[in-house]
Amino acid sequence: MMNNEVKVFRAKRDMSQDELSKLIGVSRQTIIAIEKKKYNPSLKLAYKIAKVFAVNVEEVFPNEVSLQD
Protein backbone atom coordinates (compact mmCIF):
# COMPACT_ATOMS: atom_id res chain seq x y z
CA MET A 1 0.00 0.00 0.00
CA MET A 2 0.97 3.58 -0.63
CA ASN A 3 2.52 5.61 2.18
CA ASN A 4 0.73 8.83 2.96
CA GLU A 5 0.78 11.78 5.32
CA VAL A 6 -2.95 12.59 5.16
CA LYS A 7 -3.43 12.29 8.91
CA VAL A 8 -0.42 14.54 9.59
CA PHE A 9 -1.65 17.25 7.21
CA ARG A 10 -5.15 17.04 8.67
CA ALA A 11 -3.80 17.38 12.21
CA LYS A 12 -1.70 20.42 11.26
CA ARG A 13 -4.87 22.12 10.07
CA ASP A 14 -7.06 20.86 12.91
CA MET A 15 -9.32 19.28 10.26
CA SER A 16 -11.59 16.32 10.93
CA GLN A 17 -11.88 13.30 8.65
CA ASP A 18 -15.45 14.37 7.96
CA GLU A 19 -14.40 17.88 6.91
CA LEU A 20 -11.78 16.52 4.53
CA SER A 21 -14.16 13.97 3.07
CA LYS A 22 -16.73 16.67 2.30
CA LEU A 23 -14.13 18.93 0.69
CA ILE A 24 -12.99 16.23 -1.73
CA GLY A 25 -16.32 14.48 -2.28
CA VAL A 26 -15.75 11.07 -0.70
CA SER A 27 -17.06 9.28 2.38
CA ARG A 28 -15.42 9.55 5.78
CA GLN A 29 -14.78 5.81 5.53
CA THR A 30 -12.62 6.45 2.47
CA ILE A 31 -10.46 8.90 4.45
CA ILE A 32 -10.16 6.37 7.27
CA ALA A 33 -9.08 3.66 4.82
CA ILE A 34 -6.51 5.95 3.17
CA GLU A 35 -5.04 6.96 6.54
CA LYS A 36 -4.82 3.32 7.65
CA LYS A 37 -3.15 2.47 4.32
CA LYS A 38 -5.93 0.04 3.44
CA TYR A 39 -6.94 1.95 0.30
CA ASN A 40 -4.84 3.57 -2.40
CA PRO A 41 -6.58 6.65 -3.75
CA SER A 42 -6.80 7.26 -7.47
CA LEU A 43 -4.43 9.82 -8.90
CA LYS A 44 -7.33 12.24 -9.27
CA LEU A 45 -8.28 11.80 -5.60
CA ALA A 46 -4.65 12.15 -4.48
CA TYR A 47 -4.44 15.48 -6.33
CA LYS A 48 -7.70 16.67 -4.73
CA ILE A 49 -6.32 15.87 -1.28
CA ALA A 50 -3.05 17.69 -2.01
CA LYS A 51 -4.98 20.70 -3.33
CA VAL A 52 -6.97 20.96 -0.08
CA PHE A 53 -3.68 21.12 1.83
CA ALA A 54 -2.10 23.46 -0.77
CA VAL A 55 0.94 21.23 -1.25
CA ASN A 56 2.38 19.02 -3.96
CA VAL A 57 0.91 15.53 -4.20
CA GLU A 58 4.38 14.11 -3.45
CA GLU A 59 4.32 15.76 -0.02
CA VAL A 60 1.11 13.99 0.97
CA PHE A 61 2.01 10.73 -0.79
CA PRO A 62 5.81 10.40 -0.58
CA ASN A 63 7.36 8.12 -3.17
CA GLU A 64 9.42 5.29 -1.71
CA VAL A 65 10.66 4.02 -5.06
CA SER A 66 14.25 4.84 -5.88
CA LEU A 67 14.80 5.89 -9.47
CA GLN A 68 18.49 5.03 -9.28
CA ASP A 69 19.80 1.85 -10.92
pLDDT per position as a tens digit, 58-69: 999 998 655 554
> What are the residue boundaries of the structural domains of the chain, listed by start?
6-53
pLDDT over 80 (residue 1): no
List CB contacts of 47: < 8 A, sequence separation 6 or more. 57
Residue 69 CA to residue 53 CA, distance in Å, equals: 33
DSSP 40: P
- Residue-wise pLDDT for 33-49, tens only, equals 999 999 999 999 999 99
Give burial (CB, 10 Å; 0-12/13-18/19+) of 41.
Answer: buried
Q: Which runs of consecutive H residues, i.e. helices, occur in the chain?
A: 6-12, 17-24, 28-35, 43-53, 57-60
Domain 6-53 matching CATH 1.10.3720.10: the answer reads no
